């Protein structure tokens, strides 16, 4: 046996067989490595590392998935990284980060996640020239809006933004889900949209609530929103509430007293309506307007079947208009409509005496 052969045999005996690691062992080693890396590197540095990655997005995603298991607070890091990478044009990395966040659902970040996902898809559309790809992504935008509306993944501050996105994706019915939440808002811009956009009859009460809230802010716009609330109440046929609104409105603008008197009559407050018409009668400088207010004051009582009071009021003032044929004709017709034949006959005799 030659020395060289013996030497080779000794070397062969001294060789230790190589160990083959299983997938589980490799995964465990990776977890340990990830944990150590997380402890050694501040979050700011981790974010820079993620943002600088431009090729191996899959490995970055796996790393972040495991970081999330070790520290749930990393969600904020990933969301911030996704937004920044998106704006820097790293859409693939941003997509991967958002996918990781979606796999590990957390109610505290749902709204921000949906906002970021919507923005990402918008940018994907902007960067593409493929009609098929763009059509596919537009469908995804519509799906995001629908999911946000159905699962209420939004807050009141962003309801208006999602409302516009629903319209952009041709989902008018879904848009109402976002507008409906505005009636509970205290944000003037949101409340205005509530008044202007919720035009369906079934949403009138919410529109009224928004208009009343806006009127409480005071200032020059208070009148505008009181008028809106009064109009909506009148359309609803709720004249009692309409009167309440108009009583506030006349304090700002007395010219609405005519409407207040009219609405009091519609609400069944016949005496109050008549009294207000009489007040307007006394304050008016126009002879024609005075006649109109007087006749309406009598009519208000008659419409409430307060015939005795209506006749008393008419007889109190009829002497002032004996020479006015049109006014006398109105009085006689009014008496006859109430069945007050004696009052009609008495006025006719006065007219005859006046002519003589």
What is the per-residue DSSP string for 118-139? HHHHHHHHHT---HHHHHHHHH
Provide the CA 273 distance to its chain's centre, in angstroms.
Answer: 37
- φ and ψ of 50, to 5 deg: -65, -45
CB 67, CB 103: distance < 8 Å: no
Q: Which residue has the higher pLDDT, 64 or 333?
A: 333
How much of the chain, in percent, has pLDDT values that exceed 90? 35
Confidence class for position 147, pLDDT limits 50, 70, 90: very high
* Nearest Cα to Cα of residue 299 among 271, 325, 260: 271
Is the confidence at residue 126, as pLDDT, over 80?
Answer: yes
Break the chain into its structural domains and give their ranges: 273-356
User: Structure tokens of 135?
Assistant: 């059509």
pLDDT at 23: 54
Q: CA torsion sign, 43 to 44 to 48 to 51?
A: positive
Q: Which residues contact 327 (CB under 8 A, 6 or more apart)?
A: 291, 295, 321
Axis crossing angle, helix 110-126 with helix 91-103, rounded to the nearest 10: 150
Q: Which residues contact 301 (CB under 8 A, 6 or more apart)?
A: 270, 271, 274, 307, 309, 310, 313
User: Structure tokens of 216?
Assistant: 């409480």
| For range 69-95, the mean pLDDT | 77
CB 277, CB 293: distance < 8 Å: yes
- Average pLDDT of the chain is 80
Axis crossing angle, helix 287-303 with helix 325-337, rounded to the nearest 10: 0
- Dist. CA 231–CA 237, nearest whole Å: 10
Confidence class for position 197, pLDDT limits 50, 70, 90: confident
| For range 171-175, the mean pLDDT | 84
Is the confidence at residue 6, as pLDDT, over 70?
Answer: no
pTM, entire model: 0.58
Is the confidence at residue 38, as pLDDT, over 50?
Answer: no
- Dist. CA 326–CA 351, nearest whole Å: 12
pLDDT at 138: 95
CB 274, CB 298: distance < 8 Å: yes
Q: Which residue has the higher pLDDT, 318 or 48?
A: 318
Residues in the chain: 356
pLDDT at 179: 75
- φ and ψ of 284, to 5 deg: -75, 140
pLDDT at 202: 72
Is the confidence at residue 3, as pLDDT, over 80?
Answer: no
Model confidence pLDDT, tens digit, residues 234-253 = 988 999 999 999 999 999 99
pLDDT at 256: 95
> In the chain, what are the helix, strand and coil shares in percent, each to the nearest 5?
80, 0, 20
Confidence class for position 264, pLDDT limits 50, 70, 90: very high
**3-state class (DSSP) for residue 18:** coil
Confidence class for position 276, pLDDT limits 50, 70, 90: very high
Q: Which residue has the tokens 């005519």?
A: 258
Q: Which residue has the tokens 């509970």?
A: 184
**3-state class (DSSP) for residue 48:** helix
Is the confidence at residue 93, as pLDDT, over 90?
Answer: no
pLDDT at 67: 60
């Amino acid at each position: 046996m030659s020395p060289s052969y013996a030497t080779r045999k000794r070397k062969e005996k001294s060789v230790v067989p190589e160990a083959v690691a299983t997938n589980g062992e490799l995964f465990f080693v990776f977890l340990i490595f990830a944990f150590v890396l997380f402890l050694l590197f501040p979050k700011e540095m981790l974010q820079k590392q993620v943002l600088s990655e431009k090729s191996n997005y899959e490995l970055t995603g796996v790393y972040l998935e495991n970081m999330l298991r070790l520290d749930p607070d990393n969600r904020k890091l990933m969301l911030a990284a996704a937004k920044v990478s998106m704006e820097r044009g790293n859409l693939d990395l941003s997509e991967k980060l958002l996918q990781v966040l979606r796999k590990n659902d957390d109610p505290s970040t749902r709204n921000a996640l949906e906002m970021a996902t919507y923005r990402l898809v918008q940018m994907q559309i902007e960067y593409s020239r493929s009609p098929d790809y763009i059509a596919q992504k537009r469908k995804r935008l519509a799906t995001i809006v629908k999911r946000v509306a159905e699962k209420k993944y939004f807050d009141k501050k962003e309801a208006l933004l999602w409302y516009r996105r629903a319209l952009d994706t041709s989902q008018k019915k879904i848009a109402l889900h976002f507008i409906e939440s505005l009636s509970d808002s205290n944000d003037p811009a949101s409340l205005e949209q509530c008044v202007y956009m919720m035009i369906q009859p079934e949403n009138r009460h919410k529109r009224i609530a928004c208009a009343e809230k806006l009127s409480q802010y005071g200032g020059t716009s208070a009148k505008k929103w009181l008028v809106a609330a009064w109009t909506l109440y009148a359309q609803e046929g709720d004249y009692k509430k309409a009167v309440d609104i108009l009583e506030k409105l006349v304090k700002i603008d007395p010219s609405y007293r005519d409407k207040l008197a009219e609405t009091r009559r519609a609400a069944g407050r016949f005496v109050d309506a008549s009294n207000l018409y009489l007040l307007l009668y006394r304050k008016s400088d126009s002879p024609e307007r005075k006649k109109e207010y007087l006749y309406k004051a009598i009519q208000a009582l008659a419409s409430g079947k307060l015939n005795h009071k209506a006749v008393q009021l008419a007889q109190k003032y009829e002497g002032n208009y004996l020479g006015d044929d049109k006014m006398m004709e109105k009085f006689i017709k009014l008496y006859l409509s109430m069945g007050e034949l004696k009052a009609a006959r008495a006025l006719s005799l006065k007219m005859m005496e006046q002519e003589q």
